[in-house]
Amino acid sequence: MARGRHECKPRRNRCMLRPMSELVPLIAFETSGWNGPWPETAADALEQGAVVHFPKLRVDLTPIECALVARGLSVKGAKNISLDPKTGRLGGIDAAEAPVDTLTGMMSRFRELAQGLMRGIAPSYAGALETGRTSFRPVEIAGRAPSSWRSDDTRLHTDAFPATPTGGKRILRVFANIDPEGHPRLWRTGERFERVAASYLPRIRPPLPGSAVLLRGLRLTRSRRSAYDHYMLRLHDMAKADAGYQASSPRTEISFGPSVWLVFTDQVPHAALGGRNALEQTFYLPVGAQRHPELAPLRVLERLTGRRLAA
């Protein structure tokens, strides 16, 4: 069972930035062990808006975990089973249905593996990377009825959280397909962020004065929503609601077998079309900690709008 972490001395900030196509690229690296060696170009590819894939990397399960995952689990009152990094509490699962300790152990181990992976790929992130929730997604996506079009993750979108403003911090996610039967995780990715943002921005009005204070006062947000969060939420909603964009925009279909992939989901238009039994680890990264801060959605939107959008 793989449990290793990879400690690495900081590398020089070598730039591999090159012109890329208008579609989000998929870049694969052949590393097969959780101790690396990790490609130095992976962090640059991530910040450019690529999906970085490790097709030979696996999350090994114990026999008990494998049997639990293979039998199939339902989710209670949420889309996923989630592990809070601060409290260690598991949400979205009925304790009578599954052994909480087994699930917590599996998800905690994945969190540690994902943390080690990011330390190896981007040593410069280590002091700034914030660990968010870990989730387990046991339910088949295809055919599942969403509660609303906003929550329909089979539609192309970039991530933005209504109740949890990021203030410009990046949303970085590590995924792993752990389905015991090897069913693929089916994804769709679209055009590059700047191209999508530029098409919708002319129709987005700036936030109303005082709206951020009101939302916080009503406890609809956990912190004050910045102008950046406002624009990102509108981009998320407008893209999901746009039938023409969903039906005919340029896109790429990706099939992930049992493997690991990572992506800045606030930058890459993506949709999950099918698959079950996936693990996901969310991280938050301040823009200033990037190797190339100018590529962050915050900087792109500020350039396109001509105004400062976050402190």
Which residue in 50, 125, 49 sits closest to 294, CA to CA? Answer: 49
Neighbours of 247 (CB within 10 A): 7
How far apart are alpha carbons 51 and 267 in whole angstroms? 10
Question: pTM for the full model?
Answer: 0.91
- Alpha-carbon span 311 to 308, nearest angstrom: 8
Strands 26-28 and 51-54: parallel
pLDDT along the chain (311 residues), means of 10: 35 44 91 90 96 97 96 86 94 85 96 96 94 96 86 96 95 98 97 97 94 91 95 98 96 97 98 97 98 97 97 83
**Residue 210, Cα to own-chain centre: how many angstroms?**
30
Structure confidence at residue 12 (pLDDT): 36
From the centroid of its chain, how far is CA 271?
Answer: 11
User: Is the Cβ–Cβ distance between 277 and 68 less than 8 Å?
Assistant: no
pLDDT of amino acid 2: 41
**Spatial contact of 103 and 89, defined as CB atoms under 8 Å apart:** no
Q: What is the pLDDT of residue 21?
A: 67
Quote helix, strand, coil % in the chain, to nearest 5: 30, 20, 50
Fold assignment, 26-305: Jelly Rolls (2.60.120)
Sequence spans of domains, the chain: 26-305
Quick one: pLDDT at residue 74? 86
**Spatial separation of the C-alpha atoms in residues 59 and 142, rounded to whole Å:** 23
Torsions phi, psi for 141 (to 5 deg): -75, -50
